[in-house]
Amino acid sequence: MENQPYLSVIIPTYNEEKSISKTLLAMDEYLTRQPYSYEILVCDGGSPDKTCEIVQDFKKNIRNLELFKISGGHGKGWTVKQGMLQAQGQYRLFTDADNSTSIEHVEKMLSYFEQGYEVVIGTRDKRDNKAAKQAVPQPFYKRFLGDLGNLLIQVLAVWGIWDTQCGFKAFSSQAAQTIFPLVAIQGWGFDIEVLALARRLDYRIALIPVYWLNNPESRVGFKGYLTTLVDLFQVKWNLITDKYNLKHKT
């Protein structure tokens, strides 16, 4: 593709007026020093706060920054899907708006793409990679629920990956264009669906350790864990019934 950027960075947002400025400044500072071309796509899922106004103002000073307003009420999965399909990059990364995993980690990812991997994901879990580190551990109830849920995730959908939910995942353009049109889960469980689809499509998946900063204002509570488990069973059912029509793709 002519003038195709090397890297697309997709940032899904919803009510991120307190954190988006710092995140955009950090990304701009890092990416302007890189030798490759890039684009930054902020995909907003209908924020009622000033997130969009802030991003729009930053467009005056941050190169290759775009804002896409996506109809609200769908969830993070839907927002990331639209961003991935809107992106033009050879490699496409989605990352959380609170910068809990800094953009510098993308350097580790790109080396795996050069080795032929199609999907590269960050992990905060030492069982995936001993070098993974969390600056401040999550509360006990989140770790307990996360471990319990992930055992189910591995058994039903994505065996061998302890941290399926880290919000730092990248895809080759070909993998993104194949996987994301199939994504049906609109909420938090979309990470599981994306990885399950990548596995079924025989894409090579690499894991990189990340240094993760826990956001004390995270909106993922007990209800979020429950809905993610509901999403998990939906993904399993979709795979069993071949809703994704994968038999014609593999």
- Could you state, in order of their start, the residue ranges of all structural domains in the chain? 7-244
* Banded pLDDT at 104 (limits 50, 70, 90): very high
Residue 48 pLDDT? 95
pLDDT of residue 114: 94
What percentage of residues in the chain have a pLDDT greater than 90?
77
Residue 173 has a pLDDT of 98
Residue 119 bridge partners (DSSP): 171, 205
Mean pLDDT of 51-57: 97
- pLDDT tier for residue 247 given thresholds of 50, 70 and 90: confident
Q: Which CATH architecture has domain 7-244?
A: Alpha-Beta Complex (3.90)
In this structure, what token pair is assigned to residue 36? Answer: 């490759």
pLDDT higher than 60, residue 90? yes
Average pLDDT over residues 50-68: 96
**Tens-place pLDDT, residues 156-184:** 999 999 999 999 999 999 999 999 999 99
Are 101 and 93 within 8 A, CB to CB? no
Q: What is the mean pLDDT of residues 110-128?
A: 95
Average pLDDT over residues 45-52: 96
Q: DSSP 3-state assignment of 112?
A: helix
pLDDT at residue number 3? 81
Predicted local distance difference test score (pLDDT) of residue 72: 72
pTM: 0.91
Q: What is the mean pLDDT of residues 131-155?
A: 75
What is the mean predicted confidence (pLDDT) over 17-40?
97
User: Is the pLDDT reported for residue 4 higher than 80?
Assistant: yes
What whole-number distance in Å separates Cα of residue 35 and Cα of residue 203?
27
Residue 41 banded pLDDT, cuts 50, 70, 90: very high
pLDDT at position 84, please? Answer: 98
Residue 208 has pLDDT above 60, yes or no: yes
SS (H, E, C) 86-110: HCCCCEEEEECCCCCECHHHHHHHH
| 3-class secondary structure, 120 | strand
d(CA 18, CA 40): 19
Those residues with Cβ within 8 angstroms of residue 131's Cβ, 6 or more apart along the chain or in another chain: 209
Query: Minimal CA–CA distance to 10: which of 110, 94, 106, 123?
Result: 94
- The pLDDT of 197-220, averaged and rounded, is 84
Sequence-ordered list of residues with C-beta below 8 angstroms from that of 156, at least 6 positions apart, any chain: 232, 233, 235, 236
Q: What average pLDDT does the segment 184-197 reach?
A: 96
Helix, strand, coil share (%) of the chain residues, nearest 5: 40, 20, 40
- Residues 231 and 237: their CA atoms lie apart, in Å, by 10
pLDDT of residue 236: 97
User: What pLDDT is attached to residue 142?
Assistant: 65
Q: What is the pLDDT of residue 133?
A: 83
Compute CA distances 161 → 136, 151, 208, 246, whole Å.
22, 10, 12, 22
**Sign of the four-CA dihedral 35, 37, 43, 49:** positive
Q: Is the pLDDT of residue 218 over 90?
A: no
pLDDT of 134 reads: 78
